[in-house]
Amino acid sequence: MHLSMWTYPWDIQDRGILAYATELKVRAGLGTVSLATSYHAGRFLQPRSPQQKAYFPEDGTVYFEPDQALWAGKAIQPLMARNVMERGDVLKALCEQRSKTGLKVSCWTVCLHNSRLGMLHSDHVTRNAFGNANYYNLCPSSLAARDYVVTLVKDITTNYRPDMLELESPNFMGFAHEHHHEKDGVGLNAEDDFLLSLCFCDHCASRAGKADIPVEAARDTVSRFIAELCERAVPEVQFPDFPEAGIDAFRAHPELHAFLAWRTEPVTSLIGEIKSAADPSTRIVLIDLKDGWLGGVDLAAVGPLCDGAILCCYDATPEAVAEVIRAGRATLGLDKFLGVGLRVFYPEVDGPDILVARVKAAIDAGAEGVNFYNYGLIPAPRLDWVRSATNVAKGIRKL
């Protein structure tokens, strides 16, 4: 059974590989490390580190040594983090020491969420209906952005041969909470955020146009909705069955509905290209959320093109976790990997019981793996909570 914990390279460097492996295996009952190999900026409180209680990683860098031969002539290039140069290649060490540590290696790989690259390559980011750039999100319709992600995964899987690679953000991203120091005095509701996230960049317009999608009509509709939401004294719900109805919440607007139905194509085809370019010895899985369609993910279409998915249910009730996993299993079928992503943050997790209940609900509903978030961000005693959950997971799988 796949039992893993999302981890940053600096966490392992601070603890040491063998000490880290012992904590994961013995204390937490895990068998895999999900290592950040491509990541964005942030500010992290690091309770586990003996020396770095606050950490600010570089924005949009990779935590491995890129193969220059693979990247020659590419329009968008990765930047190796200073961490790798100064403290060593943790991914290489983990992969080489699998027999010694007893840990499998999964590469947690952020794909299109990259503000550094977005600022450098603004012609390849998503743009709203007014043409404003979302610098944090390279667009999945851009050929250069697609080539970047495909090459990134090819590089990792052919040169490091991890057991699994987890794709984060190979899709369109939301408007809120994706950048830094965001300001919103309007008070955007969920549908407002979604409308602002819809991309009408030149790459999307061209790609959709070739599929006979009424792009300009859809853009006009969305820009009108955005203008109206900006004029209201307070936010109002215009689509009462959003997001439960999916794209059918917009069925009264056929041009927008057609655009939203097409919007999954760039994401689906990109994941297919990623899988085709990856070394076949590495399983390729998608990290996604309950309403993945908001980002252009069609799990039914993606499933046949990759090896499965990890569906994040961070603060969901056990009943809601079970619902998400049952739906995911029904969509993916029995032959694809399906894992659940759970966070070990307080107060949403205030002890082992709720974590155990969520894991049990996921396994009973058809999950065959659990990823816990996040090793370096939680106090050491919570690893014991994780162990309580992994004991239950292993017991269920033996039945």
Determine the Cα angle at 77 with ends 75 and 83, to 5°.
170
Alpha helices (H) along the chain:
9-15, 17-22, 68-71, 82-87, 90-96, 98-101, 115-120, 143-160, 190-197, 202-210, 215-231, 254-262, 264-277, 299-302, 318-332, 352-365, 382-398
Percent share of the chain, pLDDT over 70? 98
State the chain's mean pLDDT as an integer. 96
pLDDT of residue 114: 97
3-state secondary structure of 289: coil
Directed axis angle between helix 352-365 and helix 382-398, to 10°?
30
Decide: 318 and 358 in contact? Cβ < 8 Å.
yes
DSSP class of residue 26 equals: I
Identify the H or E element spanning 34. Answer: strand 32-39
What is the pLDDT confidence band of residue 182, given thresholds at 50, 70 and 90?
confident
Say what the pLDDT of residue 181 is. 75
Of 260, 252, 291, the closest CA to residue 195 belongs to 260
Domain residue ranges of the chain, discontinuous segments joined by +: 2-172+265-398, 176-262
Q: Determine whether 240 is exposed, middle or buried from the number of CB atoms within 10 Å of its CB (0-12, 13-18, 19+).
A: exposed
Structural Rg of the chain based on CA atoms: 21
Give Cβ neighbours of residue 30 (< 8 Å, ≥ 6 apart): 3, 4, 5, 24, 103, 372, 386, 390
pLDDT of residue 175: 93
Q: Given a cut of 80, is residue 272 above it in pLDDT?
A: yes
> So what's the pLDDT on residue 91?
98
Q: Is 4 left (phi over 0), alpha (psi -120 to 50) or beta?
A: beta
Q: Which two tokens stand for residue 193?
A: 């955020």
Alpha-carbon dihedral sign for residues 192, 119, 110, 342: negative
Give, in words, the CATH class of 2-172+265-398: alpha beta
pLDDT tens digits for range 216-241: 999 999 999 999 999 999 999 999 99
- Token pair listed for 245: 């109805």
User: Is the pLDDT reported for residue 149 higher than 60?
Assistant: yes
